[in-house]
A and B are shown apart, each in its own frame.
Chain A
Amino acid sequence: MLRVEDLVVEFPAGKGRRVHAVSGVSFDVARGETLGIVGESGCGKSTTARALMQLPAPLSGSIRLDGVEMTSLRGEKLRETRRRLQMIFQDPISSLNPRRKVRDIVAEGPRVWGEGADRVDEMLEAVGLDPVTAAGRRPHEFSGGQCQRICIARALVLRPEVVICDEPVSALDVSVQAQILGLLEDLKERYRLTLVFIAHDLAVVKNISDRVLVMYLGKICELAPGETLVNRPAHPYTRALLASIPGGRLALPPADQLIKGEPPSPVWPPSGCRFRTRCPKARARCAEEEPVVRPVADGQWVACHFPEIDGV
C-alpha cells in the first residue's frame, strides 16, 4: 500500500556541503505488514520516516500511498493524506507538549478534523491508561513508558492506516520495552494497522517484523523476511549486526572481525559501495562500482557485489 522509490534526502551542512542522509532508498510496505528498518544511528532511518510524512519533504523520489503520489500533494490534500500515516517517536517526553493535559493532547487531533472527542477515552483505555485518573494530568506527571502510551493513543485516535514507529522503545527501560512492544502488536491486530518499525537494534526488530530492511549510511543493504535475514544473512553488514546480538543461532565470527572502524561521515560518503571502508571482504570493484539492490533468493534483496549466498 506504501511504495517508496529512489528516496533522496539531503541537508545543508554549511559551506555548500551537504549531508547525504538518505540516498536512493526504495521499498514497499504491504497492507497489514510490519516492515522493520534497522541500522546504526545516523544511517538515515528517522530521515526516511519523516520523509514518508513529507516532514520535511524529500529532495527527490516518489512516495505513493495507495497509488497517490504524496510528494506532489500540497495544502489540504497533503493534510488529509498525511493523516493516514501517523508517527511515534523515540523520546516520548519531547513528543508531548508539556503544558497540555492528556485529554487535550489526545483530543486535539479529532477536534481539528471536526470529529468530536468521543473516542478519546476508548483510546486511552486501549493503550492501558485509566481515562478517569490520567486524562486530567500533564505529561511530566507520567513515566516514560506511560508517556509513550499517550503518544500511541494520540496517533491512533486519528484512525491511521500506517503507523511509523521511530525507535519507540529505545528510550525506555528494558522492562518497559517489552510491554510497549506487546501493546503495539495488540493494537496492530485490533485496528488492522500497517507498521513501519524502526530500531537501531536488530534484536528488537526481528521478532515483530514480517520483513526487515537493513540500512547503512543512507543506502539499503538488504531487505528480507525476518526469518531469512536471521538464518541466511547475505550482506556483510547484516552479518555484523547479527553477530553483535547475543545468543544468535548462526555460528558467526565475533562482530569485530565482521566490521572495522567507525562509520564515515555522510557528508563525504565513500565511492562505490558505502560499506566498503569497513567491510572485511571489500575488493577493488567495491570502490569503483556501486552495487545495485538485486534479488538473491525468494524475497531476499541485497546490495552487495559479493554476498554470502550459502548462509555462512
Chain B
Amino acid sequence: MILRKVIRLLVVLGVVTFLSYVMLNLLPGDPTVQILGMSATEEAREQLRQEMGLNSPLFVRYADWLGGVVTGDLGTSYITDIPVLEALVDRLPVTLELLVVAQVISLALAVPLAVAAARRAGGAIDQALTTLSFGMLSTPVFVLGVVLILVFAVHLRMLPATGWTPISVDPYWNFLSVLLPSITLAVGQLAVYSRLLRTDLIATLQEDYITLARARGLSPRRILWRHALRPSAISLITAIGLNLGGLIGGAVIIETLFGLPGIGRLIVDSIFARDYLTVQGGVVLISVGYVLVNFAVDLVYAAVDPRIRRA
C-alpha cells in the first residue's frame, strides 16, 4: 500500500509540475524585462536568456529543472536571488497556521451543531442550521472578509485588520492576526462540514445497533457521541481532506485580503513577477501537501471503521 502511494505521489508530481511548467511558458511577458528593466539592450537580454537557459526547448528545460528537484534543489530565484526552498519555508508556517486554525474553528462548531441537528431531524435546531448554512455557503469569502474587517477591526477595534505577526515574535498578536482570516475561511467550511455530518448522523441513527443501544438504556447523549459520531464521519473526513489539500494553494484570496505573507500570496506575486522558479517550487509544495493529506485521510478512514483496513 505504501509503495502504491509513493508511486502515486511521483506520478501526481510529474504531471502537475509539467503542466504548470507549460502554462507558465504560455504566459505573455519576458522575464528578462523584469530582471533587467525596460531600458536594457536587446544584447544584454539575449545574454541573460542564454544564461537562464531560456533558449533551449521547453522539454529540455523542464527535464533540467526536474533533475534539480529530484536532488532536492529547487533552484534560486533570478528575480529576488533567494533560494526557492528558503522562500517557501519562510512562508509555509503562515499558510499552515491559517489552515489549521480555520479547521479547528469550523470543526469545533460543526460537530456539536450537527449532533444537535441530527438529534431531532426536521426539528427547530435542524431547520435553523439548514437556513444558516445556506446563508454561509452563499456568502463569498471576500465579502465576508471585508465585513469582518469592518466590524471587528474598523468599528470595534478588537482585532488587527491586516498584517501578520509571527508566533515567534509575539504569540498573542500572532493569535489576533490569524483570527479574522481563519474565521473567514472557517465559515464556509463550517456550513459544509455540519451539513455532511448531520446527514450521515441521521443515517447512522437508523442503524439497528443504535436502536439496540437505546433498548439497553444508554442515554441519547452517549449514543450520539460514543456510537454514532465516528461511523458517521467518513464524508466529513473526505471533505476535510479535500479542503486541506485544495486550500494550501487556494488560500490566495484570504491571504491577499488580509495581507498575510503565506504560500498563496508568494505564488501569485511570483506569477506577476515572472518568477517561474518560485512558482514551480510552490506547485511542488502544493502537490506534495495534497498527496500527504490524502495519505493521512486514508489512515484516518481505517481508524474510524476497522472494516476498511481489510479492503
Contact = CB atoms under 8 A, between A and B. Distances in A.
Nearest to B207: A94
B212 A95 contact: yes
Contacts of A86: 215-216
Most chain A Cβ neighbours within 10 Å, of B213, B215, B218: B215
A87 B218 contact: no
Contacts of A50: 211
Interface in B161-214: 207-209, 211-214
Contacts of B214: 53, 55, 82
A225 B218 CA distance: 36
Contact of A87 (B215, B217, B219, B310): B215
A96 B230 CA distance: 14
Interface in B273-311: 304-307, 310
Interface stretch (A63-71, A105-113, A270-278): A105-113
A223 interface: no
A108 B216 contact: yes
A99 B306 contact: yes
Interface residues of A, number: 28
B231 A109 contact: no
Contacts of A95: 208-209, 212
Interface in A108-145: 108-109, 112-113, 138, 140
Majority SS at the chain B contact face:
helix
A154 B209 CA distance: 11
A112 B219 contact: yes
A256 interface: no
A294 to B, nearest CB: 34
B212 A79 contact: no
A56 to B, nearest CB: 9
Interface residues of B, number: 21
Contacts of A138: 306
B39 to A, nearest CB: 70
B61 interface: no
A37 B310 CA distance: 39
Contacts of A33: none
Contacts of A91: 208
Most chain A Cβ neighbours within 10 Å, of B211, B304, B305, B310: B211
Contacts of A94: 207-209
A112 B218 contact: yes
Interface in A250-294: none
Contact of A83 (B217, B304, B307, B310): B217
A154 B218 CA distance: 13
B307 A140 contact: yes
A89 B219 contact: no
A2 to B, nearest CB: 15
Nearest to A89: B208
B49 interface: no
Given A89-B208, A94-B209, A99-B306, A55 B215 contact: yes
Given A85-B215, A154-B216, 18 more contacts: A50-B211, A53-B215, A79-B217, A82-B215, A83-B217, A86-B215, A87-B211, A91-B208, A94-B209, A95-B212, A97-B209, A97-B231, A98-B307, A99-B306, A112-B218, A138-B306, A154-B212, A158-B216
9 smallest CB-CB distances across A and B, nearest first, come from: A109-B216, A79-B217, A95-B208, A83-B217, A94-B208, A89-B208, A97-B209, A140-B307, A95-B209
Interface of A: 50, 53, 55, 79-80, 82-83, 85-87, 89, 91, 94-99, 108-109, 112-113, 138, 140, 151, 154-155, 158
24 contacts: A50-B211, A53-B215, A55-B215, A79-B217, A79-B219, A82-B215, A83-B215, A86-B215, A86-B216, A91-B208, A94-B207, A94-B209, A95-B209, A97-B209, A98-B305, A99-B304, A109-B218, A112-B216, A112-B218, A112-B219, A151-B212, A154-B216, A155-B216, A158-B216
